[in-house]
Amino acid sequence: MNLEDIAKKAGVSRSTVSRVINDDPNVNALTREKVWQIIRAENFHPNPSARALVTRRTEIVGVVIPTSENIFFTDNSYFPQLLAGLNYGTRDLEYALLLWLGELTAADDNLIRRISNNRQMDGIIIASMEGHHPFFAMIPRLRYPVVMIDRPMLYEDRLSYVTVDNIAAAEMAVEHLIKLGRRRIAHITGHPNIGDAQDRLQGYKNALQRAGLPILPELIIPGHFNRNAGYDGLRQLLPHKPDAIFAAGDTIAIGILQAARDAGLTVPDDLSVIGFDDIDVASQSFPMLTTVRQPVQQKGEKAARLLIDLIEGRAIGPQHIILPTELVVRHSCGASSPLPLR
């Protein structure tokens, strides 16, 4: 089965079939539908190379995840959910994914150049990236559309991105602790050069200020999005006697739970803990973790669809998509109803 066969069955010219396949807007709607019915009935798949010559598109989307292979392949929740969303968003529109994985430090200059000079991609999606990452210098010179997952630290007014309202989400988490009567609320941050971490820190401060509680530097511990940051962070906090901790990520919170057990503390009686993300382990930890749920898979799917809209001219950048979050109350905070203020 080829274009001529499809054209003969549809009673149109070969060029008309080609125009239908390549989404020419000047083709009559009835003709377009008739041709597509035959294409589907015959299970015909147009030659992608031939189509690329006409559309000048490869229908390949690049995905840059600037993290180490060790972190990527041992993560059992965030990245699998994100990639599932990216796959759904591209597959339905018949695009393929090209994954670029690595920390992309200054030492990876060759890989950074390969990504920026690659001509097989119609566009690129970049997952959370540090504000001073060397790849950022390449972004203004890229020849194709770019969509960031999470708010970028640089070029925010020039880049399209999909994120959640991290400030409001952090405020919601800390306000929950305040309603439960907690007053010495600590925060262990994510990476300081990532926009999500900065926004969650700001939300933490906003909630304390709104409640008339002091922002105490000794209760704010700089960290990273990993268990060690939570474990070591709690050990630093113990002399300052926090009664609650808002962790910038669930992996941090899991480290806090382990450190609390090792220190002889009971969660939530001695210490309340809230995380962020609602990864799978949050509902499997002991005690089960109260956390802010963000729609990771939906972020990936929205980012993919936005990028393809930019590629195909259905959208003009920059576009900013903000997705909702929700507080998932489990057992790590204690009372499910507010305690009296003290």
Query: CB-based contacts of 39: which residues, under 8 Å, 6+ apart?
Result: 6, 21
Number of domains in the chain: 3
Where in the sequence is the domain holding 313, given as residue range(s)?
A: 60-164+298-324
- For the cut 50, the answer to whether the pLDDT of residue 341 exceeds it is no
Q: Which pLDDT does position 56 carry in this prediction?
A: 62
Per-residue pLDDT band for 43 (boundaries 50, 70, 90) equals confident
- Which CATH number covers residue 174? 3.40.50.2300
Cis amide prior to 318 (ω within 30 degrees): yes
DSSP code per residue over 89-126: HHHTTT-EEEEEES---GGGHHHHHHHHH-SS-SEEEE
Same domain, 159 and 80: yes
- Give the mean pLDDT of 255-279: 96
CATH code of the domain in which 31 resides: 1.10.260.40
One domain for residues 269 and 316 = no
User: Which among 239, 89, 268 has a CA at the least distance from the CA of 177?
Assistant: 268
Same-domain check for residues 181 and 194: yes
Ranked by mean pLDDT, which of 141-155, 233-247, 277-291 comes out on top?
Answer: 233-247
Which residues have C-beta within 8 Å of that of residue 214, sequence separation ≥ 6?
Answer: 208
Q: What is the pLDDT confidence band of residue 339, given thresholds at 50, 70 and 90?
A: very low
Q: What is the mean pLDDT of the chain?
A: 87
Tokens of 128: 């959370």
* Same-domain status, 148 and 176: no
Q: Containing H/E element for 187?
A: strand 185-188
Nearest residue to 291 via CA among 235, 253, 264, 334: 253
Task: Return the residue matching tokens 């200020």.
Answer: 209
Q: What is the pLDDT of residue 338?
A: 40
